[in-house]
Chain A
Amino acid sequence: MATPEELAVIEKAKVLMVGAGGIGCELLKTLALTGFKDIHLIDLDTIEVSNLNRQFLFRKQHVGQSKAKVARDAVLKFKPDIKIEAHHANVKNSDFDVEFFKQFNVVLNGLDNVDARRHVNRLCLAAGVPLVESGSTGYLGQVTVHVKDQTECYECQTKELPKTYPVCTITNTPSKPVHCIVWAKDLLFARLFGDRNQSSDLIVHTNDRTSSAATADTDFFNIKDGETPESYACRVFDGVFGDNIEVALRNEETWKSRKRPRPLYICEVYSDAKKPRIDGSCNSPDGNDKHTASAARILGLSNPQEVWTVRDSANVFLKALELLLNTRQKDIGSLVFDKDDQLAMEFVTAAANLRSSCFDIPMQSLFEAKGIAGNIVHAIATTNAIISGLIVLEAIKLLMGNLDDCRTTYCLEYPRRKMLLMPAELSAPKSSCYVCSQSTLLLEVNTTMTRLREVVEKIVRGQLSVNSPMISQGPCLIYETGDDLEEDMVTQYNQNLEKFLDSLPAPIVDGSILSIEDFQQEFTCHLQIKHREIFDEEKEPDNMVLSGKLSTTRDQALPGSVQLTAVADNVSIHAVDDDDEVILIDEVAKQDLKRKVLDEESVIVCGKRQRTEVS
């Protein structure tokens, strides 16, 4: 029950919810029960079976339908007298411009990725609408408030992007299960079934150029005349787990400080027995369905939690490869790995395990491998319910004009200083923020060796999340996107994309300053270029380094406020899955969060304002 004053603003408020997933379902229900009457809801996704354990507005029969629309219909059933407008669309769609955002009193995010969060952050800043941001993973969650010029914006804290691994770790020196899984899906799978022109080599070339791996041969992965799928599968096996590792071993330098891997050949796996004659026709009823075709099931390996032996893995590898060749002929050459493609996932698990066994890395179950390969977010209903309650409480404070009472709240798995829900005060905007304070960013790049395309893709779109960029240097337009461009301009821009930075019509050299604008986001930022010749391939795989130009004065925090940067970073950062709400990728990060919360205990100011309970 809200107070009459609260209820008055709640009933008049027009709110925008972005995301109708785990947090979104809970939030829409809680908003409706609290008395909100005018709600817009945007979500691009459709419902999947794995949503049903927590996205309680959805039922099995809704799988495949729009989340936004089904959620609206479900809530209207118990609250028919309110207005809910559902948009089955991407929030980055140009319909949702600054004008659209301006009609709302508050925006509530229940999103699953950093890119969309940044986009909404910029639109909220441009429209001057307060934003309640949220995220959850497992038992952990966070809710916070962003108000233009008053608090930090979502991008004041630098966000780590999803982890990427140096190519040579993946191709030559894996040391963790994830390295082998990335190798199996991004290199091997792509090489065998995807577009071969796009995929990179499976192995880093040795110093000894004459003895490169057999798999480097462009023809290696082609099926030879008269070769059966089975013998092809065996040849690939020996090539990637045997010969390739032999070649890698020749690079003595690499193994001075590392454990030497052991090549694995088919004949060793089956030395004491014949290869099992696998019955189970490829034309069995479930042989063709993308979601049910399964080599593991044919082999009697029905428990996805079980870790296969090397022999099991070899069996699955051979069988899955054979099945893929036989049942997906049309798609070979254009298959893209999808964690929900059962056969593809089995193949990747088997291949990753075989590679793990060569490198003495623990093997993984199909279930675990799927989690790693798909970057699946751990998610439970209870945390999302708690988060939805916290979001509504913050929204009410904002609508009442009590920004001073707003908090960032951390939802913890175990109490810290007796608290399971831990509030912290909001921070002031950071003057070094390139989004809300328009500070200049610094881009270190080799201007003679880097094409404009790489800067646009990796930096402007990738790291800065600019949706439809316009890039200029002084009065010269260098690049622009949009539907209404003249044809000759499009040609010109496409040519520019392929040029090296220093040979553009308006050359980009050391000291150049670029303006990057996005009209939809009403976003502008400035990029100062610093020419640099050499980059560390391991640590700087993009061959570019983007950094915030540090302001000379220290940021002024709100009086008494604390900077929970470490915690905030971990909890609102890594985005991940396709259907989920948030954040932390792994156990390590979770432990990290817990430790940091603990470490920061002494500085967290909670409920500093005691007036609340003093009569």
Chain B
Amino acid sequence: MEEVAVEALTEQEAAVYDRQIRVWGVEAQRRLSRAHVLVIGMSNVLTELCKNIVLAGIGSLTLMEDAPSVSTVMNTSFLIPVEQIESDKSFLTECAESLKDFNPMVHVTVEKGSLEEKPDDFLNNFDVVVVGRSLLKYRMHVNSLCRKRGPKIAFLSVDCRGPLGEIFIDLQTHTYVLKAKENVPHSLQNLVYCSLEEAIAARWDRLPKKTTKLFYAMRIMEDFEQSNSRLPGQVTLDDLASVLDTRKRLCESQGMPETLVPDKLLHRLLYAEAREHPPVCAILGGILGQELLKVLSGKGEPLKNFFFFDPMDGKGITEEIPRPDDTPIIMQSAEIEI
């Protein structure tokens, strides 16, 4: 992020953003207004995210249809008035226009073409890249592109499968200000994240026993989809037997009993097919938006590095999944006094 001369917010910004500036301060608001976000794909949970970050006042949002690999059912979106659904504009253009309308101070544009067709430095235009539901291979690819292009491009992914949701975050290195507590002054915290590829390579028998079962269930689904050439979400309950086989194979190779992942949980993931549960989209879009704002503003500790939600127990859980090597904890915090 380039340094821009410190300037007061415009009157319009001050009026519209008044309530949130009371939460995160003017400096954070200024940083937000200089941030550029790329969102690849579109789904209910991504529309929730886009709404949240546009309202918050990021500098620009670029929508891009890529991920040839997605199967998402979007009967309705609050971004698109019904009368316009049949119009000749592309879906993303409709979304962009609607988002612009939410907050005219944010530049919302649609980028045509796929990531593959873009010049090497395309991603350098962004501070954050968000990917929705897509093949594991694709997400790992985008994640590694971010890492290659620069140490500061954050990668986030989100998937809502029926009522179940997962968020992954790779900030590479991230520095944030830890607010002063009793006797401890403000300090800078330094976090070192790992890539999606590294995180999911962690051996299951080395992960903490209390790691949420949804983490393993999502890996089983990914594996099944990849090895059966299915699009993510392009699954049904008819696949249950094969998915249970995948569970058996994975659990054995990871040194864990099959009971690690209950049938019921896989059943629910398959039953969802490509659908998303709107209340859960609101929750995931809210959490993801919030974390993204923490990342962009440098205020507050962002999530490390997975988040899961299951309305069955109502818990919104964060999981730190470490690298597969001997590094016991992926996040190293070094305290630096300001």
Residues of A within 8 A of B (CB): 1-3, 26, 29-30, 32-34, 49-50, 52-54, 56, 59-60, 75, 77-80, 138-139, 302-305, 367, 371, 376-386, 388-390, 392-393, 396, 407, 409, 413-415, 418-423, 580, 606-607, 609, 612-615
Contact = CB atoms under 8 A, between A and B. Distances in A.
Contacts of B276: 1
Contacts of A379: 19-20, 22-23
Given A30-B282, A385-B283, A389-B280, A613 B19 contact: no
A52 B76 CA distance: 23
Contact of B278 (A52, A139, A386, A392): A392
B21 to A, nearest CB: 8
B189 to A, nearest CB: 12
Nearest to B214: A613
A80 B300 contact: no
B285 A385 contact: yes
Interface string B304-330: 000101111111111100000000000
B22 A381 contact: no
Which of B21, B26, B315 has the most chain A CB atoms closer than 10 A to its own CB? B315
A49 B287 CA distance: 25
A50 B55 contact: no
B82 A418 contact: no
Given A53-B55, A53-B56, A139-B290, A77 B262 contact: no
The residue in B277, B285, B293 that gathers the most chain A C-beta atoms within 10 A of its C-beta is B277
A607 B313 contact: yes
Given A392-B279, A418-B318, A421-B316, A77 B81 contact: yes
Contact of B76 (A79, A381, A383): A79
A415 B308 CA distance: 12
B275 interface: yes
Given A53-B19, A380-B19, A418-B318, A613 B313 contact: yes
A137 to B, nearest CB: 9
Given A1-B277, A34-B279, A378 B213 contact: no
Contacts of B213: 613
A543 B310 CA distance: 51
A386 B287 contact: yes
B22 to A, nearest CB: 4
B126 interface: no
A607 B314 contact: yes
Interface stretch (B44-52, B131-139, B199-207): B44-52
Given A381-B20, A386-B287, 8 more contacts: A52-B16, A77-B81, A367-B21, A381-B51, A381-B286, A385-B282, A421-B287, A612-B264
Nearest to B102: A56
B334 interface: no
B263 interface: yes
B19 A376 contact: yes
Contacts of B103: 52-53
Contacts of B56: 53, 380-382
A420 B287 contact: yes
A384 B286 CA distance: 8
Contacts of A1: 162-163, 272, 275-277
30 contacts: A1-B277, A30-B279, A32-B76, A33-B78, A50-B16, A52-B103, A54-B19, A77-B82, A78-B78, A78-B80, A78-B81, A139-B23, A367-B14, A377-B19, A379-B19, A379-B22, A380-B20, A380-B56, A381-B52, A381-B289, A385-B52, A386-B282, A386-B287, A392-B282, A409-B314, A421-B283, A421-B287, A421-B314, A612-B312, A612-B313
B14 A613 contact: no
B158 interface: no
B265 interface: yes
A404 to B, nearest CB: 13
Given A304-B14, A388-B282, A390-B279, A56 B313 contact: no
Interface in B46-79: 48, 51-52, 55-57, 76-79
A30 B278 contact: yes
Contacts of B282: 26, 29-30, 385-386, 388-389, 392
Interface residues of B, number: 72
Contacts of A304: 14
Interface of B: 8, 14-24, 26, 44, 48, 51-52, 55-57, 76-83, 101-104, 162-163, 213, 262-265, 267, 271-272, 275-283, 285-287, 289-290, 293, 300-301, 303, 307, 309-319
B262 A614 contact: yes
* Secondary structure of the B contact surface, majority rule: helix
B318 A420 contact: yes
A414 B301 CA distance: 7
Contact of A303 (B8, B20, B313, B316): B8
Nearest to B77: A78
Looking at A33, A78, A382, A392, the one whose CB has the most chain B CB atoms below 10 A away is A382
Nearest to A303: B8
Given A34-B278, A386-B282, A413 B300 contact: yes
A422 B318 CA distance: 11
A382 B286 contact: yes
B19 A378 contact: yes
Contact of B20 (A53, A56, A302): A53
Given A385-B285, A385-B289, A418-B317, A376 B78 contact: no
A60 B14 CA distance: 14
A302 B11 CA distance: 9
A382 B318 CA distance: 17
A20 to B, nearest CB: 15
B287 to A, nearest CB: 6
Given A305-B26, A615-B262, A80 B285 contact: no
A390 B283 contact: yes
A1 B44 CA distance: 11
Nearest to A291: B15
Contacts of B319: 418
Nearest to B275: A1
Q: Count chain B CB atoms within 10 A of each CB in A30, A302, A396 and give the residue with the most.
A: A30
Nearest to A306: B8
A422 B77 contact: no
B277 to A, nearest CB: 5
Nearest to B318: A415
Contact of A138 (B23, B271, B318): B23
Contacts of B303: 415, 420
Candidate in B301, B313, B314 with the most chain A CB atoms within 10 angstroms: B314
A1 B278 CA distance: 7
Contacts of A377: 19
A614 B23 contact: no
